[in-house]
Amino acid sequence: MKMADITDDILSASDDDESQVVTAAEVLLKIESLWRTERLSPTLECHQSELVDCMLDQITQMNNNLRRCKKTDLRLAIHRMELERVRYVVASYLRCRLLKIERFTHYLLEKHGELDDPSLALLSPQELDYAKSYAQSIESHFNKLVLRHITHEKLAEFDAKKMSVVPNMNGYVFLKVLKDSPGVLISDQVGENADEEVDLVAGDQHLMMYSSIQELLKSGHVELI
Amino acid sequence: MLGDKAFSLIQELDRSQHGTLPPFNEDAVRQALEEIDSLFQQNVADINHLAEDDALVAGIHLRHAALERNKRCLLAYLYNRLERLRTMRWQLGSVLPSDVRTNLCEPELEWFAQYSSTVARYMRSLGDGQGLDLTVDLKPPKNLYIEVRCLQDYGEFELEEGEVVLLSKDSTHFLPMEHCQHLIRQGVLQHVK
């Protein structure tokens, strides 16, 4: 039995809220694909805190359901194990995001501030809080130990633009095409003006620069593998 | 030589064993800061004489570059130490072992406390305020229960269902993994393969 089947089995049992259109198993599949993407992408992807919250809610519900089961039931152990696995996926996904948030703090805070549309926000409110607090703690640490001992004002500033780490958008990623997407522009990095266009056919697998497929990834035309 | 002190800090950190933290080198940091200061004073003096002698420009540029480099090295030293501390927060929890604490300077201890509370606040806020401990399973779970050996007399340990296990030295137990992971990291239990 596949992992998704078991989860479907145990999770759909608890999912009696009829107004919800997506089933728990679909949410899990989505989270698994988000998890993969987040781990493979060189930069931070948009946050999906609704999905994560929904999944965490399901886990708690299932745990409560399991508590009512008889202890000797063989299925109990299998269900528990499955829940642990789901929990791991969610936790690992969130950890991976935190790692990127810490590494690219200043870059992400700046990008986040530029966006007007809240549905495209990179950071969830909690993550924003985390990033701000992290950036502040690092800067005050720098200030305490080094910067305030430098007498000249201009030199004693922490210039985030000059010193902070930014993600490498030109890094290469492996990807699989889900929907046909003709005419993807691959810009020429060498400067010989040799921009190329390729047609991506569903089912193909490629190794391409992240920056050229970033939009396709957002719209779900390709997935990272 | 210009910038040597600051660079030696980077070397020191780079050569130390990965995952450990050498003592905070306050002397070298102070010397690098003094160098920045003296370079700056020399530059100020030269700038005042610039009108009389154009040849001073090259020296000013050189000193300024050295000064920027010193600053950069110092900040890199601080930042990379914090990164190692950060890894320890995730692996060892919010209480640092005493051998690590002795190697830290006061601001680093403050930073660690602040970082710890930031992480804890974030974990509490997850899942509509239910909270999710992200530090429990750093590796994918393979089994629900694992065999552990107790390395020290810990006393009674209560499991989620209310069962109580007596953890005495050299006893082995078969416990749910999620509950004993923290004890393993604290060094109370050892995972027996």
C-alpha atoms less than 13 angstroms from C-alpha of A76 in its C-beta half-sphere: 12
CB B30 within 8 A of CB B74: no
What six digits make up the tokens of B66? 């050295």
> What domains appear along chain A, each with residue ranges and CATH number?
3-163 (1.20.58.1030), 172-224 (3.40.5.60)
C-alpha atoms less than 13 angstroms from C-alpha of A47 in its C-beta half-sphere: 23
- N-to-C CA span, chain B: 54
A95, A127, A129: residue with CB nearest B134? A95
Q: How distant is the alpha carbon of residue A94 from its chain centre?
A: 7
Q: Taking Cα atoms as reference points, which of A167, A130, A10, A82 lies closest to residue B134?
A: A130
pLDDT of residue A153: 67
Rounded mean pLDDT of B52-69? 84
pLDDT of residue A104: 92
DSSP class of residue A190 equals: S
A84, A130, A146: residue with CB nearest B74? A146
CA A77 – CA A6 distance, rounded (Å): 12
- Write the ipTM: 0.82
Residues 87-106 (A) with a CB less than 8 A from some CB of B: 87-88, 90-92, 94-95, 98, 102
- N-to-C CA span, chain A: 23
pLDDT of residue A13: 44
Residues 157-196 (A) with a CB less than 8 A from some CB of B: 158, 163
- Whole-prediction pTM: 0.84
pLDDT at A62 over 50: yes
Strand runs labelled E in chain A: 172-177, 181-186, 196-200, 205-209, 222-224
Model confidence at A16, in pLDDT bands (50, 70, 90)? very low
CB A38 within 8 A of CB A97: yes
Q: Choosing among A126, A137, A165, which should be mutated to test the B contact, i.e. which has the most B CBs within 10 A? A: A137
Residues near A101 by beta carbon (within 8 Å), at least 6 away in sequence: A44, A108, A123, A127, A130, A131, A134
For a pLDDT cut of 70, what percent of chain B falls above it?
98
Residues in chain B: 193
pLDDT of residue B54: 75
Fold for B4-125, please state it: Methane Monooxygenase Hydroxylase; Chain G, domain 1 (1.20.58)
For a pLDDT cut of 90, what percent of chain B falls above it?
13
User: Quick one: A100 exposed, middle or buried, by C-beta within 10 A (0-12, 13-18, 19+)?
Assistant: buried
DSSP class of residue B154 equals: -
CB B137 within 8 A of CB A91: yes
For residue A155, the surrounding DSSP H or E stretch is none
The answer to whether A126 faces chain B, any CB pair under 8 Å, is yes
CB A107 within 8 A of CB A134: no
Residue A206 DSSP SS3 = strand
Rounded mean pLDDT of B93-111? 87
What is the nearest CA distance from B30 to chain A, expressed in angstroms?
9
Residues 49-108 (B) with a CB less than 8 A from some CB of A: 67-68, 71-72, 74-75, 78-79, 82, 86, 105, 107-108
CA B24 – CA B12 distance, rounded (Å): 10
Residues near B94 by beta carbon (within 8 Å), at least 6 away in sequence: B116, B120
Assign residue B3 a region (left: φ > 0; alpha: ψ between -120 and 50; beta: otherwise).
Answer: left
For a pLDDT cut of 90, what percent of chain A falls above it?
19
Residues near A132 by beta carbon (within 8 Å), at least 6 away in sequence: A109
Q: Compute the mean pLDDT over every residue in chain B, rounded to the nearest whole number.
A: 85
A60, A87, A151: residue with CB nearest B37? A151
| Residue A183, phi then psi, degrees to nearest 5 | 70, 45
Per-residue pLDDT reduced to its tens digit, A160-200: 777 788 898 888 999 999 988 888 888 777 767 777 888 88
Residues 52-81 (A) with a CB less than 8 A from some CB of B: 52-53, 56-57, 60, 77, 80-81
CA A167 – CA A15 distance, rounded (Å): 39
